[in-house]
Structure 1
């Protein structure tokens, strides 16, 4: 194949990583070895000139506190979850900068001592300068998931794709960890995801990506080299867009 065949399919992407991925083999918390592995994958892709936005969930931290939250009202619990995403963002920033990748954290909750406030034009400028931008604290309001925050930032940044890095290599007909007969979809439409309630991302995030015309690519971030391969249309993954053949 020519070099053109191996050229990345996307110039600017948003990578959404669940907080649970950062746990590694721990029951909760941050496994810095796993964070370093994700950082190396991001840094390797960024070194090729691809502009990367990053959103990390907070489930690895907040689920460890869920019993303590008890009967806490939803708004307060969600605010705690937002703070958890800031902690994850700072851990990822430290790992990226340790390997020489310039990184900025922008938070939807104002906390100038640790992160920049989210300013769209400033974020775009960082991307143009080759910096990885990590968006923390979701959309800055309760009742919205980090999936919705990732979709919103992908649309605002004009990303070519939203890549969701998970612990499995795509969207399956059933949970592949529980059902050995589960099969992976190569492609899906946004409408199929919504109609079949496949729970790839929450419905509002999928709808925003549909309305913005931004494909969602689901792949395994824990598989070495997968981020690179997906950007070239290689390896195992599921693409969700308007162009998928109907079932």
Structure 2
């Protein structure tokens, strides 16, 4: 069975306490898991950034602020596991080794952050490498990778396909601090480059986009691969 790692942004899963897409994501992830061995790495989203903002106001260092953010990612992961029920392994994986071990039970494996200074995108990229994933999918709030932030520049160019080297060029222009919110961080981009595992960036605001992409190969987004073609290898 093929293995797929999904980096699911916290701002996609739980945009606010009053609004979430967990209910919509549950049947989609369950459907995907029937065809692929599935790993989901959940981000902290706005809630993590709010806590990190308070930590900074209190003069708390960035490392500790990151650890606070990691706790929020694991809380989000716990919520998703509970909603998935029997389809998911009942414990949040707190390391890549645990994620690999949990996957032996044939359940969806869910995890959050691991290490201060590393986003959940980086955690997911390394996990894809460790488990030998067929594809690494980043479900985010934009429909692909752009030359610039499309929310700031509406004229930014969206790419259908780019190389890992081009990805590094794009993300290398952005800063990384606790709670950073970029399309992908530099660590994840470097892991994508060295692993050779295709990265697919798609709009995760509509959960069904994931099922269409993984099960049917239909999606609007960006493929990051040396193959230089818009195709989903799952």
Is 1:162 the equivalent of 2:149?
Answer: no
Asked whether the 8 Å contact 2:135–2:197 carries over to 1, the reply is yes
How far residue 224 of structure 1 moved from its aligned partner, in angstroms, is 4.7
CA distance in 2, matches of 1:107, 1:123: 8
CA distance in 2, matches of 1:46, 1:223: 18
CA distance in 1, matches of 2:212, 2:14: 24
The equivalent of 1:46 in structure 2 is 33
Is 1:62 the equivalent of 2:48?
Answer: yes
2:118 partner SS: coil
Deviation string 1:101-142 (CA, Å, 9 cap, x unpaired) is: 233433327xxxxxxx9525513413xx2x100022x23x32
Is 1:122 the equivalent of 2:105?
Answer: no
Of the structure 1 ranges 159-168 and 63-72, higher mean CA displacement relative to structure 2 is found in 63-72
Is 1:226 the equivalent of 2:209?
Answer: yes
CA distance in 2, matches of 1:72, 1:183: 38
> What is the Cα-based RMSD across aligned positions, in Å?
2.3
1:216 to 199, 206, 215: 199
How far residue 63 of structure 1 moved from its aligned partner, in angstroms, is 1.5
Change in 2 beyond 3 A, CA 1:74/1:175: closer
The equivalent of 1:134 in structure 2 is 110
How far residue 214 of structure 1 moved from its aligned partner, in angstroms, is 0.7
2:87 to 101, 125, 135: 101
2:64 to 72, 76, 89: 76
Asked whether the 8 Å contact 1:209–1:215 carries over to 2, the reply is yes
1:159 partner SS: coil
Larger radius of gyration: 1
Change in 2 beyond 3 A, CA 1:176/1:51: same
1:68 partner SS: helix
How far residue 68 of structure 1 moved from its aligned partner, in angstroms, is 2.0
How far residue 213 of structure 1 moved from its aligned partner, in angstroms, is 1.2
Asked whether the 8 Å contact 2:93–2:102 carries over to 1, the reply is no
Stretches (4+) displaced over 6 A: none
- Within 5 Å, give how 1:226-245 maps onto structure 2: 226-231=209-214, 232-244=216-228
Change in 2 beyond 3 A, CA 1:174/1:67: closer
CA distance in 1, matches of 2:97, 2:127: 10
1:235 partner SS: coil
Change in 2 beyond 3 A, CA 1:135/1:222: same
Deviation string 1:127-165 (CA, Å, 9 cap, x unpaired) is: xx2x100022x23x3222212111111111111111000
Question: Unpaired runs of 5+ in structure 2?
Answer: 173-181, 230-234
